[in-house]
Structure 1
Amino acid sequence: MSSLNDHGTLEISTLLQQNLMHAQSEIALHVKRFIQTDEPESLHRYRIHLRFSRSLCQEFGSFLEKKRRKVLIQTLKFLQKETNAMRDLDVFLACIETYKNRVEAVSLAELEAVENILRQERQDAYDRFCERYERESEMLSSLQRCVEDASLYLTPTQKHASHRLEAIVRARVKKIAKLSQHLVADASNERLHQLRLHYKTLRYTCDALGWKDFAKSLKPMQTALGNVQDKHVQIKRIKRYNALHQTELRELSALLKADLREDKRTCIATCKAENLKKRFRRFQRCDEAR
């Protein structure tokens, strides 16, 4: 496996620094756009680069100075958590918009009532985020200074780095394959959620290493698992709404549960362990042939 050959003589420390610095510039760009426009896509891009940075710090932790790596991971986790609710609301609002074309006219009022509540929750969350932005911007500036500091990055020998990289990727593939064994329709949400996180980490790792084709091949599995997670979050929210308002949103609940069943079937078909193993073996053969 010619891991580092894709980058010529580029050292892993340089590769890491370039990826983290680029991610930080994207984080700064998209959070500013989000503050100015409140566009869901800007929030989404902001979160992607936060997750990418955190994933690299975790997966390539042995190539980073220990104390600062810990601070980076904690800060990135905090910043991501600050926007979790807004992202969940954006996804749910988009879901309800599609459901409007799937319900009878008599049920449309039910959807619109929920939609109005979600929009108000989303506005409140955005206002709170804007109020906290001065503190957030200080944390982002601190992150920027940290990833620009060359002393953060350790420089093992090229041969040692190559073996470590191969071990990192192989270990992640093995974890995914194990979790993917015997997936069934009643698989726990926790298991599917963990599987999704492993796929994300593997994809971010491969993107950072320049293995774009293999990373791209992982997207369908990540998307299928993400759809299941979104439905679970939405069903929980509807249950809380029903309890709070002493009502029952039958039409919306039925749609969500039906889509969850379909999303799980897609997961089972897409996330078979053998599918990933075949993709990985195909990638290795192509990589060795270069």
Structure 2
Amino acid sequence: MVKHSRWLIQDADQSEQILERMQTHFLPDLICHEQDTLTFYDDFEWRLWRKDFLLASNIRGQIILTEGNDSQTFDNEVSPSFARSFRNQNLSDRLWQVSDIRRLLPMAEVETSVREYALRNFEDEKKVCKLVITRSGYADMWELTSMRGYDKDYREALSCILEAEPENPERHLYRLSLELLDIKPGKYKSKPKTKVPPEMASADACSKMVRKMWKNVRINEDGIIQDLDTEFLHQYRVALRRMRALFAQMKNYIGPEQSLWFKDALGDLARETNRLRDLDVYLEDRDYYFGLVPEKLQPGLEELFQHFTRERNREQKRVAAYLQNTPYLNKVSAIEETLKSCPSEPGEKGHLPIAEVAAQRIRKRYKQIAKDAALIHDQTPDDDVHEIRLDCKKLRYLLEFFGPVLDKERVRPVMQALKKLQDNLGRFNDYSVQRESLEHYLENHKTSEEIQKAVHALSGVLFMKQQKEREQVCGQLEDFLADDVRQLIKQLTQPTSMAQSSKGSPA
């Protein structure tokens, strides 16, 4: 059985003393000694770091991936850009599970020195252990590995190390080295939570929330301009959409006139990016669409996606220029100035505690869904189903915005139940929108016969998928309006729940 151990030696001189001590027991044969500069990468949201991964590259085309205390080296690799860009499938898959479509960006460099020794015995100079010493600015990491059949020699070598009373590292040397450089994740979150006391006036609480959301709008602009990855645009739009939703649902508390102004101003910003986002979604789902049509029609689909790619490149340049032009910057300045005075004229109920208002709004929205759902049946027009979808989206926003003000633990099961319904309604809507978008493209572009055949075939498949989702709507609504979910809503919005939240909130 192969044995392995890892230790940290803080003092470089002490490392050399241990090596000298080992020379009385073994013949240390230096196999290689390499100086290296490791460049560490992560995505904009630090997803790798948060999942205890580290990704590094060096000038020799190697990629080093650490997971917890374990590390693996991949040779002959490309410089990091996206998870799917790596040659090694295992490496690509592991990174894809964490970083998905986000671009990998350089975050730090660490100078290292790696010495690998074969520890040989005196009798016949057989290799009995492998010793690797990695030196960084933080410490020396000693890794000792036994050769099969030489357990006694391994224990002897290990005793030489243990005499120095080394640290047993809880984290990998590279992570400790980065922490020494004060490298740490940013605070950015795609859906930021804002701490507000339950007793805070609802108008003031909403104002505090939207100001935090606005930061996400601005922080994503540079990534869109540089076209680093498509998620920057997506999260830019999510932030705008969440702000508009809050102003729309809380207008009577923030103030109707100012809420309408914000809703229109934010809508203007989002509208300029609609087509670019549509094209991003098509191109990200390219393989999925190809899997929906027969192979003989795929050349037409390939031609269509070539058109989409060219249009996407033009549209990205247009949006990047738009985000840097004077009219856009003037709109941004106007929004930021108005945010400073928000709420300028709170509604009559704007003084009410946010917890009380949140509970009332959530109850009302759930009752509205129940009322509309009672009219839904298998023959209900699609437009009415879309209205239910919008009601569910409004409820989700309310739960996301105000759930923490009420009771986070009670929000979670409600969100889980709502997600099942929303997934069904979302797919139903997506298939409808995709069909309309494809038909609109044919109507407004001169296309080949191959493209037209492929689009009609794809549209037919999407229609069948839409109908399949439509068949599940009544059952999903019934589940969401069942007694257990009603009880969860009641518990979440009852006064005792708000009182418990108040006890745990910051003063």
- In percent, how many aligned pairs have the same letter? 20
Task: State which of 331, 338, 355 in structure 2 corresponds to 1:146.
Answer: 338
- The answer to whether the 8 A contact 2:361-2:398 is kept is no
Aligned residue in 1 for 2:367: 174
- The answer to whether the 8 A contact 1:26-1:46 is kept is yes
- The answer to whether the 8 A contact 1:54-1:76 is kept is yes
Q: Does 1:18 align with 2:211?
A: no
Q: Does 1:75 align with 2:265?
A: yes
Task: State which of 36, 48, 58 in structure 1 corresponds to 2:226.
Answer: 36
Pick which of 131-140 and 264-273 moved more: 264-273
The alpha carbon displacement at 1:58 in A equals 1.2
The alpha carbon displacement at 1:147 in A equals 2.1
- Amino acid of the residue matched to residue 423 of structure 2? T
- The answer to whether the 8 A contact 1:180-1:273 is kept is no
Tell me, in whole angstroms, the C-alpha distance in 2 between the residues paired with 1:180 and 1:124.
43
Q: Does 1:248 align with 2:448?
A: no
Q: 1:201 to 1:153 in 2, by over 3 A?
A: farther
- The answer to whether the 8 A contact 1:86-1:125 is kept is yes
- Amino acid of the residue matched to residue 175 of structure 1? Q
* Within-5 A mapping of 1:126-145: 126-133=316-323, 134=325, 135-145=327-337
Aligned residue in 1 for 2:436: 236
- Amino acid of the residue matched to residue 273 of structure 2? T
Tell me, in whole angstroms, the C-alpha distance in 2 between the residues paired with 1:99 and 1:232.
15
Tell me, in whole angstroms, the C-alpha distance in 2 between the residues paired with 1:146 and 1:168.
25
Aligned residue in 1 for 2:488: 282
Aligned residue in 1 for 2:424: 224
Tell me, in whole angstroms, the C-alpha distance in 1 between the residues paired with 2:200 and 2:258.
23
- Amino acid of the residue matched to residue 204 of structure 1? Y
- The answer to whether the 8 A contact 1:180-1:271 is kept is yes
Tell me, in whole angstroms, the C-alpha distance in 2 between the residues paired with 1:36 and 1:51.
22
Task: State which of 267, 273, 276 in structure 1 corresponds to 2:473.
Answer: 267
Q: Does 1:122 align with 2:312?
A: yes
Tell me, in whole angstroms, the C-alpha distance in 1 between the residues paired with 2:233 and 2:223.
8
Q: 1:266 to 1:85 in 2, by over 3 A?
A: farther
Aligned residue in 1 for 2:275: 85
The alpha carbon displacement at 1:30 in A equals 1.8
The alpha carbon displacement at 1:19 in A equals 0.9
Tell me, in whole angstroms, the C-alpha distance in 1 between the residues paired with 2:424 and 2:220.
25
Q: Does 1:107 align with 2:297?
A: yes
- Amino acid of the residue matched to residue 137 of structure 1? L
- The answer to whether the 8 A contact 2:254-2:350 is kept is no
Tell me, in whole angstroms, the C-alpha distance in 2 between the residues paired with 1:54 and 1:187.
29
- Amino acid of the residue matched to residue 218 of structure 1? L
Tell me, in whole angstroms, the C-alpha distance in 2 between the residues paired with 1:242 and 1:65.
44
Which whole-Å deviations, capped at 9, do the CAs of 1:180-216 have from their partners, x for residues lacking one? 2353455433223222222222211221113442345
Aligned residue in 2 for 1:3: none
Higher RCO (C-alpha under 8 Å, 6+ residues apart): 1
Tell me, in whole angstroms, the C-alpha distance in 2 between the residues paired with 1:277 and 1:43.
40
* Within-5 A mapping of 1:181-192: 181-185=374-378, 187-192=380-385
Tell me, in whole angstroms, the C-alpha distance in 1 between the residues paired with 2:383 and 2:432.
10
- The answer to whether the 8 A contact 2:373-2:477 is kept is yes
- The answer to whether the 8 A contact 1:17-1:153 is kept is no
The alpha carbon displacement at 1:286 in A equals 4.8
Aligned residue in 2 for 1:63: 253
Pick which of 111-120 and 87-96 moved more: 87-96
Larger Rg over CA atoms: 2
Greater share of helix: 1
The alignment's TM-score, normalised by the length of structure 2, stands at: 0.50
- The answer to whether the 8 A contact 1:184-1:268 is kept is yes
The alpha carbon displacement at 1:31 in A equals 2.7
- The answer to whether the 8 A contact 2:202-2:351 is kept is no
Tell me, in whole angstroms, the C-alpha distance in 1 between the residues paired with 2:279 and 2:392.
23
Q: 1:194 to 1:276 in 2, by over 3 A?
A: farther
Which whole-Å deviations, capped at 9, do the CAs of 1:93-147 have from their partners, x for residues lacking one? 3333213235443222122112112222323322222232223333233222322
Aligned residue in 2 for 1:203: 396
Q: 1:234 to 1:68 in 2, by over 3 A?
A: same
Q: 1:16 to 1:286 in 2, by over 3 A?
A: closer
- The alignment of Structure 1 onto Structure 2 pairs a total of residues equal to 284
Tell me, in whole angstroms, the C-alpha distance in 2 between the residues paired with 1:173 and 1:230.
23
Aligned residue in 1 for 2:243: 53
Q: 1:59 to 1:286 in 2, by over 3 A?
A: closer
The alpha carbon displacement at 1:268 in A equals 3.6
The alpha carbon displacement at 1:179 in A equals 2.6
Tell me, in whole angstroms, the C-alpha distance in 1 between the residues paired with 2:459 and 2:295.
16
Pick which of 17-26 and 198-207 moved more: 198-207
Which whole-Å deviations, capped at 9, do the CAs of 1:217-240 have from their partners, x for residues lacking one? 423333322222221122123323
Q: 1:166 to 1:150 in 2, by over 3 A?
A: same
The alignment's TM-score, normalised by the length of structure 1, stands at: 0.83
Q: 1:242 to 1:186 in 2, by over 3 A?
A: farther
For the aligned residues, what is the CA RMSD? 2.9
Tell me, in whole angstroms, the C-alpha distance in 2 between the residues paired with 1:233 and 1:156.
37
Unaligned runs of 5+ in 2: 1-195, 405-410, 501-507
